[in-house]
Every structure is written in C-alpha cells, then in structure tokens.
Structure 1
Amino acid sequence: MLTFLEQFESYWGPLRLFGFITVRAVMAGLFSFILALVLGPKIIRYLQNLRMREAGRSEEVVGQLAVLHEGKKETPTMGGLIIFSSITISIFLFAVPNVYILVSWFVYAGLTAIGFIDDYRKVSRKNSDGLNGRLKLLAQAAIAAVALTVLLLHPATSENVRELWVPFYKDVVLSSMPIWVLFPFLFLILSGSSNAINLTDGIDGLAIGCTVTSAMAFGLMAYFSGNAIISDYLLISFLPGTGELAVLCAALLGASLGFLWYNAHPAEVFMGDTGSLALGGLVGIVAFLIHQPFTLVIVGGIFVLEAVSVILQVGSYKTRRKRIFLMAPIHHHFELRGWHENKVVIRFWIISLLCAIAGLASLRIR
C-alpha cells in the first residue's frame, strides 16, 4: 500500500526508497516486530479474560511430562492471532500485492482459520481433542486446491508453477508437471510443513524460534529468485515478482521475534494451532512458489526431525510394541532425560540456524 509513495519522490527524494524491495523488507520486519510487541499484551489479556486455556494432558496419559509442565496450565493459547495480525498489516502496507503475495496470504489466512477452530474446540470442550484429523486434512486440501487454481489461471504463474527444481542441480527437472502430480505435491508440502511445525510447538519458544531462522532463509531465497542477476549467478529459477515474498518473510521474521518476546520461557502465551498450523503452511507455500520445495527439508531440519521422531515412535510401537524414544516428539524425549526446557530450546535453535545456513549454501552448490 505504501509503495505508491515512490511516485512522489519529486517532492521529497527519500520517498524513492519505497521502490526498493530491500528497504521495504526491513521496514516490514521492524514494523511487524513493533506491532507484535504492542498488540501482544492486549491480545494476551483478552485471551485470559475469555479463559482461552488449552486443556493439558493428564499424568496418566503423558506421565512425568505432566509434572514438568504443571505450571503451564494457566497460560492462554491462540497467541497465533498476534502473529497473524502483525504479518497481515505489515505485508499489505509494505509489499506489492501481486499473485505471489495474495496466494501466500490466502493460504496463511485459511490455515489460521483452521487452527483457530481447532483451538476453540479444545478450549470449549476442555480436552486436548480438537478438529477431527480427516476434517483438518480435507480443509487443508481445499486451501491447496484454491491456491493452485489461482496460480494455474494467472498468466504470471500459469507456466512456471508447473516446474520442478531440486537442490544441487542447475536445470529444471520437470518443465511441466501434470495437475494430477502438481496438486498432491502442493498438498503434501502444505500439510507436511503445517503438521511438522505443529508437532514442534511443544515447549516455550521452540517452534517460533525455529520459524525465525526459516523465515530468514526463505526471505533471502525469495529475493534471489526475483533478481535476474543473482538468480543467473546462482543458477536458480528466475521468477519476476517473487522478490515481494522477501517482504512477506521479513514481516514473518519480525512478527515471530515479537511473539517470542512473550513466548520465551516462562511463556505468557502459547501460539496454539492458530499459529503453528498457519506458520507451517506459510513457509511451505513460499518454498513452493520460489521453486525450493525440497530445500524446505534442509532449512526446516528441526521440523523434519520432530515429525520423523513421531513417525518412528508410532511405527515402532505398532509393529514391535517398543518405543524408540522416552516420548515423541523428540524434544520431550530430551526433557524426560533431564535436560532443562531452556537447554532443549537453545540447542534446537542452534541446529535450526545451521540448517538454514546449509539450505542457503545449497543454492551455490550446483
């Protein structure tokens, strides 16, 4: 919205800065951070007044973990509303609303709505059962279908959205994926990334801190993809217009840091599914749009580790009646081994940062 100010540079020279993606990205990041800090206390108080507290699992279900998390019972959930508000206002102020921005925001808003309904059902029923798993996947599939339809019909994306690129290879692998492959592929990215971050959101600051490093990595990748010179140098797909996604990722980074201010241990608010499902989908759709879906596995290494730990635990118990970990997702395993919550979080943050750096490095190894 504020990009129109560039037209008035003849009246005041510095207004030309609104024409630069890098400047607008910095502005979006700072603005969303400040906005999250300002909105945070107001939304937290509102959630507390409504008694929006997620029902914890009993000691009979999770054993010693219930004792370790005893002090979290009074913490309100649905804090993802803080992140959503900050990102939404920031991107529509500082980003050019092209098809990439609008589709990304649609996916983010849709998944936020699903997460909100899921959280509300948990709170209102006072148990940890939210939306039916199949219903949640069906809703995610509907969002993926609408997003893909828009991308296929829009002239700027109708061709390049069908392309498949993989890390460490300098040419497109498939130039025109058929729809019967493209839709399941996009659905897998959105649902996989959504549920992976949802699984990671188990202790104070863990998921949102890892989201910060992912936002940083994909913000840079989006800028590279939208820049003809850099994309040619790195031998990656050049996609005019995707540079605006760098503004979105900067807003995500700033809002995440602002939310972390209140979510750091001991947390004043939890993001809930309102935040975790939506953030995963937002990161996933950005990766898809800039032709870096497989790089998502590298950058989001912690999220992948958390999801794989659950799959292995469930698979092992069903086939052998034995557990691999003391508890899954794997961050709970380390908690039950005696690591303090802060130690688990900071060590996972370190690994997440290294994964983000590795993902960025993969662009040059071709």
Structure 2
Amino acid sequence: MIGIGIAGAIALVISILFTPYLIKIFSRQGFGQEIREEGPQGHKSKRGTPTMGGVAIMIAMWAGYLGSYGVNMLLLGRDEGPTASGWLVMMLTTGLGIVGFLDDFIKIRKQRNLGLNKTAKLVGQLVVGITFAVLALRFIDENGLSPASPNLSFIRDISFISFGTVGFVVFCYGIIAAWSNAVNFTDGLDGLAGGSAAMVFGTYVVICFWQLRNDCSASLGSACYDTRDPFDLAIVAAAAMGACIGFLWWNAAPAKIFMGDTGSLALGGLVAGLSMMTRTELLMIVIGGIFAVEMLSVILQIAIFRTTGKRIFRMAPFHHHFELAGWKETTVIIRFWLLGGVCAMFGLGLFYSEWLAASGAG
C-alpha cells in the first residue's frame, strides 16, 4: 500500500512542478494550439495556448512508477521490481503518446488543426496495439497466467467467450483504438479529459488493490481473481492519477496548457491497457462512461447526418452541444466531472457487489 501512495505522490509533485517549465519552453518555441474553424466561437480566444502538455503527464507517470520501486528498495529494503504487466501498460501508454506527439507537432508546424492523416494515425495505433497484444499473451508466470487473457471479461473472465490468439490481437486493437479516440474526443474543454481520467485511474487503484488482497493464491474459491501483477497495476494507476491531478492544476479553466493528442491518446491507451490487464473490459464502459458517451455522440452524429441529413446534436462531441445551448464552459466541465464521478462510483459498486455475490458474503 505504501508503494501505491508513493507512486501517486511522486507523480503529483513532478506534474505540478514540471508543467509550468514545459509551458515556458513551448510558449518560447511557439508550440500553440490551433483551433478548428467549425468549433464554438468562444474557443477562438484559446488559439496559441501551449499544447503537447501530455509530455508532462507521461514524464510524471514514469517518475511515479519507477520512483515508487526506487524508494521501496532504497528506503524500505524491499526487493520487488516492476513486472511484465506494468512494463507493457506503460509501453502502450508511451507508444500512443508518441503517436499523439507527432500529430500535435505536425499541427503546430503546419499551423492547422489537422495533424497526422487518418491513415498515418491508424498505422501508428495499429503498430502499438498489435505489439502490446502479442506481448500481453506471453510472459506466462509460474501460475500459468499471462498479463492479459484471450477471453472477454466483465468483472472476471467470461470463460465461454474466447477470442483465441489471432482474435484477441484484433479485439485488443479495437479496444485500444476505441478508448484512445474516446479520450481524444473528450479533450475539448479545459480539464475535462484530465479530471475524468483521474477519477477512472483512482477507481482502478481500488480495483487492483482489491484484486491483490483477493487473488487466487489465497484459496478464496470463486471469489478470487485470476489476474497477473495487480500490485504493479495499482502503482501504474496511482502514478497516472497523480500525474493527471498535477497537470489539472495548470490545465483547469482557463487552461495555461493543453494536453493535446500527446496526452489524450496516451491516457486512452492506459484506460484500455488497465481494462485488459485487470480482466474488466466491459466494466470499463461503466467506469469510463463519460468517455464512452462522448465517443457515442460522435458516432451517432455522423451516422444520423449521413443517413438523414439532419444533426441530432448542435455539435459533437457531446460537450459542445451544451456550450452551443448556452451553458458556460466551466458549467459543462463541472457537470461532466460529476457525471464521470457517478460512473466511476457505479462501476466500483458493480465490482464490489459481484465480489459479495461470489463470496457469499451478501
């Protein structure tokens, strides 16, 4: 438990202290955000705000993750180190962050709100996703567990729904692409994606810790969890939560810096990675409900417009609909945070109630 707290604390401090330094560098280099022409008119004033702040989030995450183990070894004398699960999730996060960084950099250099074309971004996500999927089925431990499972999962593996190796790679890529784009869609208002992500990662700190306390080595019968390295994943989630909260200090309205695709794609990748490593892929739809709704709003807007020529929302993603309805930006953000918190708590409640049912304690 101490290691989890250390990871979150280090990431929080690094994120708060390093982000203003990044703001100065990016402002000096002219790395300012371009605003899409068809967006809400009130966003025009944000043009030129430094972007690519996701760099600070990733650096803080790595510092919190590695720093936690460093403190444990040097000060507490513990010899545990990072595991395959932790390395893979951090690799997935960083890989998608690099794809996002390239996207942001091209936008800045060409001074337009279009970075990598769809094909290039797709290829980048494909390479990172397939690499993660293939490696996630390897590194089998002494208990016969790989970091991820080829089965579909809700709160545990659904044993009768198995994708097989090839099917899992395809499924894994689909989840990674979906969640990275969902967080990317949500990142349209100051602090909205960062605050929502912090709630999701905080929820996963609790889930991973609970899986650690109730793993199958404790002979708990059907109430135990067959997951690899839950403690390491809790450290990753804590580091991500701390990094997001620290970044939010500077990203909250009015934002001094945006996370850009660098941050949103990285955080979306982490959401996907945690859901697969903890065997909670379907539960993540509830916990990260605010991201799921934002992506669904875009899908519905496009589908209905192409079939009927009419728009169901004033503008998609969903948060812009309320802006155009006259809500202040801060009102939209706070209310969406509240909804995000409700989704996270409801998802955690489902997780715990399933454990009660499985253990017979309810």
- Mark yes or no: TM-score above 0.5: yes
Letter in 1 for 2:179: S
Q: Hey, what does 1:113 align to over in structure 2?
A: 98
* 1:288-322 superposed Cα distances (whole Å, 9 cap, x missing partner): 01101111100111101100000111111111000
* 8 Å Cα contact 1:77-1:270 kept in structure 2: yes
Distance 1:224 1:325, change over 3 A: same
* 8 Å Cα contact 2:227-2:279 kept in structure 1: no
Match of 1:139 among 112, 124, 145: 124
1:355-366 mapped onto 2 (5 Å cutoff) = 355-366=343-354
1:47-86 mapped onto 2 (5 Å cutoff) = 47-58=26-37, 61-62=38-39, 65-66=40-41, 68-86=42-60
Q: Secondary structure at the match of 1:362?
A: helix
Match of 1:88 among 57, 62, 74: 62
Q: Deviation at 1:175?
A: 7.4
* 8 Å Cα contact 2:149-2:279 kept in structure 1: no
* 1:121-173 superposed Cα distances (whole Å, 9 cap, x missing partner): 000001111111122122212112211222223122765633425437x6642
Structure 2 alignment gaps of length 5 or more: 70-80, 355-362
Structure 1 vs Structure 2: percent identity of aligned residues? 32
In the alignment, the residues of structure 1 paired with residue 175 and residue 200 of structure 2 have an alpha-carbon distance, to the nearest angstrom, of 15
* 8 Å Cα contact 2:54-2:260 kept in structure 1: yes
Match of 2:214 among 220, 228, 238: 228
Q: Secondary structure at the match of 2:337?
A: helix
* 1:165-209 superposed Cα distances (whole Å, 9 cap, x missing partner): 5437x6642475311210111111111110000000001010001
In the alignment, the residues of structure 1 paired with residue 205 and residue 221 of structure 2 have an alpha-carbon distance, to the nearest angstrom, of 18
Q: Secondary structure at the match of 1:173?
A: strand
Q: Secondary structure at the match of 2:125?
A: helix
* 8 Å Cα contact 2:150-2:165 kept in structure 1: no
Match of 2:21 among 1, 22, 42: 42
Distance 1:89 1:326, change over 3 A: same
1:1-366 mapped onto 2 (5 Å cutoff) = 22-58=1-37, 61-62=38-39, 65-66=40-41, 68-95=42-69, 96-156=81-141, 159=146, 161-167=148-154, 172-174=158-160, 177-228=163-214, 232=220, 235=223, 237-366=225-354
In the alignment, the residues of structure 2 paired with residue 304 and residue 292 of structure 1 have an alpha-carbon distance, to the nearest angstrom, of 15
Q: Deviation at 1:220?
A: 1.4
In the alignment, the residues of structure 1 paired with residue 295 and residue 163 of structure 2 have an alpha-carbon distance, to the nearest angstrom, of 27
Distance 1:289 1:352, change over 3 A: same
In the alignment, the residues of structure 1 paired with residue 151 and residue 105 of structure 2 have an alpha-carbon distance, to the nearest angstrom, of 38
Distance 1:172 1:321, change over 3 A: closer
How many residue pairs match? The answer is: 339
In the alignment, the residues of structure 2 paired with residue 205 and residue 172 of structure 1 have an alpha-carbon distance, to the nearest angstrom, of 35
* 1:221-261 superposed Cα distances (whole Å, 9 cap, x missing partner): 12222333599488353324222111111111111010000
* 8 Å Cα contact 1:201-1:207 kept in structure 2: yes
